[in-house]
């Protein structure tokens, strides 16, 4: 497993470990976009660690053959990733106390002493990484003493959240930015269908939209619409108030920028589609360096293959749209069709309830020291924890925040709600660490004689 660390400020004797639970991609991307940890490390005397998730980036258990077959790929699970993180934290704690050398093997072979736990660990994560941060505390409370789980949709699963909630939130972001923009997007789906019914129409769209690969058939048109849909979702996710380069190089308030050309949903076919293309240009060519529109991937910084496998095994998140309560096409959720796709693509059967069985679903009141933060501009807030579970498993709602904006580095354009959220995190982290240090000391044990 690859990991990045910064120990400049670490107080090795008992300083905390700030541990980022890696997501579905190379760890460098998350390291560069999670400045909050860096900014508070000196104050806490903390070690900063960014751990890469197995089967992503360079962390391939079987090298270049890790994706060859399911006998190897079957070890790509959230449970296995968390076990890796346990192993790494235990190793780092032991290395810091300089009591032991590392034992060869996995988490089961780690020698544990009292000194191993001198350094409290605080987990941080956003999105899937936020889910892992929360589950880390739930599953291994002796290893991690608290978790900041940002934009973590741990309830985006069957029976916990309505399948249309995700696209409803996405749609509200566009409609609140510009009603005409939202209506243009809604109308564009049928307009694309009518414009691409003939080979001549597909050629025109390919030319006017500068597609890298021309549209040849209905499958290509479907792929184009899926790419567009993903772009709208991604822009809502990273609708930050300043320019950033997370999923793609983007200007500040990118949804507003995308909506600028979409001023009239009653335009004729190609005028309307031209306005859509000009809006999409914000996402795929903000830098002005792209010569054509490549619809093969909307998130090149993330690993679609690995996540596709996880989405077909444990991360089964039902989503649907109807074109009435949202600005997307009518796409109902059909588990049977989804299962057929997973069987055909990965030769696996998706499990709709495995995550709930492993981590508890909505029944997490016996957990502690977890903050679930959600920005209401973020589509993934639909599956997030939006209310306090207990006094120590709490929700932080950030109205003006997009996808884990709160974990990014401070910026003068940050909304006040984000600034306040970060202050609250620091307060809670101090409390968790203080409590851990107080009650982990041997001399705190009361002794009674007969």
1 vs 349: CA distance, rounded Å: 27
Q: Which of 328, 359, 365 is nearest to 156 (CA)?
A: 359
**Residue 378 to residue 237: CA distance in whole angstroms:** 5
- Over residues 157-173, the mean pLDDT reads 97
- Please give the pLDDT value at position 106: 41
Burial, 321: exposed, middle or buried (Cβ in 10 Å; 0-12, 13-18, 19+)? Answer: buried
Q: What is the CA radius of gyration of the chain?
A: 23
Helices 199-208 and 179-195 pack at an angle, to 10 degrees, of 140
Quick one: average pLDDT of 2-9? 95
Confidence of residue 101 (pLDDT cuts 50, 70, 90): very low
Strands (E), 132-209: 146-150
In this prediction, residue 99 carries a pLDDT of 41
User: Would you state the pLDDT for residue 114?
Assistant: 52
How much is the pLDDT for 20?
A: 99
And the tokens for 300? Answer: 């090149």
Average pLDDT value for residue range 417-445: 87
Note whether 163 and 320 are within 8 A (CB).
Answer: yes
Average pLDDT, the chain: 92
Q: Where are the domains of the chain?
A: 3-157+354-444, 165-346
Q: Where does the pLDDT of residue 441 fall: very low under 50, low under 70, confident under 90, or very high at 90 and above?
A: low
Look at residue 108 in the predicted model and tell me its pLDDT.
43
Smallest CA-to-CA distance from 255 within 192, 183, 173, 312 is with 173
Model confidence at 107, in pLDDT bands (50, 70, 90)? very low
The pLDDT value given to residue 300: 59
CATH number given to 165-346: 1.20.120.980
Q: What is the pLDDT of residue 295?
A: 85
Q: Are 57 and 25 in contact (CB under 8 A)?
A: yes
Q: What is the pLDDT of residues 77-87, one digit of tens each?
A: 999 999 999 99
In three-state form (DSSP H/G/I as H, E/B as E, the rest C), the secondary structure along 385-434 is CCCCCCCCEEEEEECCCCCCHHHCCCCCCCCHHHHHHHHHHHHHHHHHHH
Active site residues: 127, 378, 403
Q: Is pLDDT above 50 for 262?
A: yes
Report the pLDDT averaged over residues 272-295.
90
Q: Which of 83-97, 132-146, 192-206 has the lowest mean pLDDT?
A: 83-97
Q: Is residue 129 within 8 Å of residue 20, measured between CB atoms? A: yes
Supply 366's token pair. Answer: 């016996």
Domain 3-157+354-444, CATH class in plain words: alpha beta
Specify which residues 5 forms β-bridges with. Answer: 49
pLDDT of residue 158: 95
Do residues 356 and 135 touch, judged by C-beta distance below 8 A?
no
- What pTM did the predictor assign? 0.92
Residues 6 or more apart in contact with residue 401 via CB below 8 angstroms: 373, 374, 375, 376, 377, 378, 415, 417, 418, 421
Each residue of 338-369: pLDDT tens digit? 999 999 999 999 999 999 999 999 999 999 99
pLDDT score at 448:
52
Question: What is the model's pLDDT at position 298?
Answer: 59
pLDDT value for 322: 96
pLDDT score recorded for residue 96: 58
Closest CA to 414 of 403, 433, 425, 400: 400
Q: What is the DSSP string of 165-176?
A: HHHHHHHHHHHH
pLDDT at 161 over 60: yes
384: tokens are: 């997030």
pLDDT band at residue 304 under the 50/70/90 scheme: confident
């Amino acid at each position: 497993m690859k990991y990045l660390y910064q120990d400049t400020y670490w107080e090795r004797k008992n300083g905390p470990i700030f541990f980022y639970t890696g997501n579905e991609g190379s760890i460098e991307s998350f390291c560069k976009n999670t400045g909050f940890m860096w900014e508070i490390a000196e104050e806490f005397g903390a070690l900063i660690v960014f751990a890469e998730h197995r089967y992503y980036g360079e962390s391939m258990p079987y090298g270049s053959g890790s994706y060859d077959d399911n006998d190897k790929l079957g070890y790509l699970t959230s449970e296995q990733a968390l076990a890796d993180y346990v192993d790494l934290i235990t190793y780092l704690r032991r290395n810091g106390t300089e009591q032991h050398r590392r034992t060869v093997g996995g988490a089961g072979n780690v020698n544990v002493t009292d000194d191993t736990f001198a350094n409290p660990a605080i987990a941080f994560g956003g999105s899937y990484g936020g889910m892992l941060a929360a589950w880390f505390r739930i599953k291994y409370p002796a290893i991690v003493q608290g978790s900041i789980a940002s934009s973590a949709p741990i309830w985006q699963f069957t029976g916990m959240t309505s399948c249309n909630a995700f696209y409803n939130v996405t749609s509200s972001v566009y409609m609140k930015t510009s009603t005409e923009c939202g209506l243009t997007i809604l109308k564009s789906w049928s307009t694309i269908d009518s414009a691409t019914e003939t080979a001549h129409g597909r050629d025109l769209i390919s030319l006017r939209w500068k597609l890298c690969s021309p549209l040849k058939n209905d499958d290509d048109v479907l792929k184009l619409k899926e790419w567009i849909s993903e772009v709208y979702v991604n822009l809502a996710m990273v609708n930050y108030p300043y320019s950033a380069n997370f999923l793609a190089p983007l200007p500040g308030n990118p949804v507003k920028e995308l909506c600028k050309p979409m001023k009239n949903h009653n335009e004729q076919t190609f005028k309307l589609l031209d306005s859509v293309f000009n809006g999409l240009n914000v996402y795929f060519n903000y830098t002005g360096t792209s010569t054509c529109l490549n619809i093969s991937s909307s998130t090149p910084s993330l690993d679609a293959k690995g996540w596709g496998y996880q989405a077909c095994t444990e991360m089964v998140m039902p989503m649907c749209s109807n074109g009435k309560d949202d600005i997307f096409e009518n796409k109902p959720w059909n588990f049977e069709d989804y299962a057929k796709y997973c069987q055909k693509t990965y030769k696996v059967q998706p499990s709709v309830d495995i995550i709930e069985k492993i981590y508890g679903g909505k029944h997490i009141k016996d957990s502690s020291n977890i903050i679930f933060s959600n920005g209401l501009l973020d589509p993934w807030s639909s599956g997030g924890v939006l209310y306090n579970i207990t006094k120590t498993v709490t929700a932080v709602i950030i109205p003006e925040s997009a996808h884990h904006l709160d974990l990014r580095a401070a910026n003068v354009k940050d909304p006040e709600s984000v600034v306040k959220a970060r202050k609250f995190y620091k307060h809670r982290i101090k409390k968790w660490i203080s409590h851990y240090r107080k009650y982990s000391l041997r001399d705190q044990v009361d002794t009674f004689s007969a």
